[in-house]
Amino acid sequence: MHNRIRRPRRNRKSAAIRAMVEETRLSVNDFIFPLFLIEGSDKKEEIPSMPGIYRYSLNVLLDEIQECMYLGIKGFCVFPSLGDNKKDKYATEGYRKDGLYIQALRKIKSKFPEIALMTDIAMDPYSSDGHDGVLENGEILNDETLEILGKMALAQAEAGADILGPSDMMDGRVGYIRKVLDEAGYTQVSIMSYTAKYASAFYGPFRDALDSAPKFGDKKTYQMNPANANEALIEADLDIEEGADMMMVKPALAYLDIIKSLKDHYNVPITAYNVSGEYAMLKAASEKGWLDGEKVMMETLLSIKRAGADIILTYFAKEAARILIK
């Protein structure tokens, strides 16, 4: 018989000991729940490629937030889905004060002042070209886009948003938005930068939900190449310099190494966006009975947190909250 001094299994021998030595724990405090807003009233439409996720008109969306708050969810990120008649080349609907999105933010924040209300800053939901920047002769113009993003940021801050989320990947946008906000006196409004946002095929169901797929080309001249990890550190250096309060990696699962790397290199909170395609693939496999939906959901969320995410934007927030508060 071998004399084995080290036996790691001793720390796994009972549920009580396993719980005691557990290194990572999920909590509803970690979650931000993305919600899709549409025009009209009393509307709730399921998104075909995202079972269990809906587009809501404002009155139903307010009820949904209330329900999530009972489960302990405090962070919400709202995305608007607009008809083609509201889209134009310069995404002007994105900062119109009485436009669908800005009005909704104002109503949400006045009804639920205690939530952390996060926004999306990007042109694509309002752009007739389906891009995150101004498209001219086949090119996305960076600095011209910043002016539009700045107007969106101001309108959102004025409506009462707590955290602004630039998801566009233009160069210099965090610094530009910070300056615009500070000059208008919104020094308390936070910026969560989509620091390392990859040109990913996992956004497919989200683009269905918003009908926001690019009408021309792809997003590879602004979103990052999935092959690159060092480049995420360049983006992060710039975001920190420009004043980002929090940084995001997106998507999450195929980029756990990037989450870990940002967590190791920087001291601001790191968010991971567990995107629509990641949600869709687990849902599809569990609907077929090929995976245990609840278990793979919890294991997936845990893996994102273990990799280093402090905050997780996830369509699973409500379902996972139900399990966590049991």
**β strands within the chain, DSSP E:** 31-38, 44-47, 50-57, 75-80, 116-118, 134-136, 139-141, 163-164, 190-197, 246-250, 270-274, 311-314
Binding characters for ligand PBG, 78-117, by CB under 6 A (x = yes)? ----------------------------------------
107, containing H or E segment: helix 100-111
Residue 275 is a binding residue for ligand PBG (CB under 6 A): yes
One residue of 49, 145, 193, 276 binding ligand PBG per CB under 6 A: 276
Residue 156 is a binding residue for ligand PBG (CB under 6 A): no
CA distance 34 to 196: 19
Which residue out of 86, 151, 219, 250 is catalytically annotated? 250
Q: What is the DSSP pairing of strand 31-38 with strand 75-80?
A: parallel
Of 52-60, 96-104, 118-126, 318-326, the segment contacting ligand PBG by CB under 6 A is: 118-126
What residues contact residue 109 under an 8 Å CB cut-off, 6+ apart? 115, 117, 159, 160, 161, 162
Q: Tokens 């889905």 correspond to what residue?
A: 81
**Contact predicate 194/262, CB 8 Å:** no
Q: How far is the CB of 222 from ligand PBG (least distance, A)?
A: 9
One residue of 207, 254, 296, 306 binding ligand PBG per CB under 6 A: 207
One residue of 30, 93, 129, 132 binding ligand PBG per CB under 6 A: 132
Burial class (CB in 10 A: 0-12, 13-18, 19+), 267: exposed
Binding characters for ligand PBG, 37-66, by CB under 6 A (x = yes)? ------------------------------
Looking from the CA of 177 toward its CB, the CA atoms found within 13 Å total: 37
Of 93-101, 201-209, 290-298, 304-312, the segment contacting ligand PBG by CB under 6 A is: 201-209
Residue 124 is a binding residue for ligand PBG (CB under 6 A): yes
Write out the binding residues for ligand PBG, residues 213-242 only, by CB under 6 A: 219
Does residue 87 carry a catalytic annotation?
no
108 phi and psi angles, rounded to 5 deg? -60, -45
Q: How far is the CB of 41 from ligand PBG (least distance, A)?
A: 25
Of 102-110, 140-148, 200-208, 301-309, the segment contacting ligand PBG by CB under 6 A is: 200-208
By C-alpha distance, which of 44, 158, 35 is closest to 102? Answer: 158
One residue of 203, 222, 255, 316 binding ligand PBG per CB under 6 A: 203
DSSP 121: B
By C-alpha distance, which of 270, 274, 273, 245 is closest to 260? Answer: 270
Whether cis (ω within 30° of 0) applies to the bond prior to 214 is: no
Q: How far is the CB of 120 from ligand PBG (least distance, A)?
A: 6
Which residue, 184 or 228, has its beta carbon nearer to ligand PBG? 228
Does residue 89 carry a catalytic annotation?
no
Of 36-44, 146-154, 199-207, 257-265, the segment contacting ligand PBG by CB under 6 A is: 199-207
**Contact predicate 311/33, CB 8 Å:** no
What residues contact residue 78 under an 8 Å CB cut-off, 6+ apart? 34, 35, 36, 37, 61, 101, 104, 105, 108, 117, 118, 119, 120
Q: How far is the CB of 278 from ligand PBG (least distance, A)?
A: 8
**Contact predicate 152/165, CB 8 Å:** no
Which residue, 219 or 263, has its beta carbon nearer to ligand PBG? 219
One residue of 176, 206, 222, 255 binding ligand PBG per CB under 6 A: 206
Which residue out of 151, 197, 219, 263 is catalytically annotated? 197
Active site residues: 197, 250
Contact positions vs ligand PBG (CB under 6 A): 120, 122, 124, 132, 167, 203, 206-207, 219, 275-276
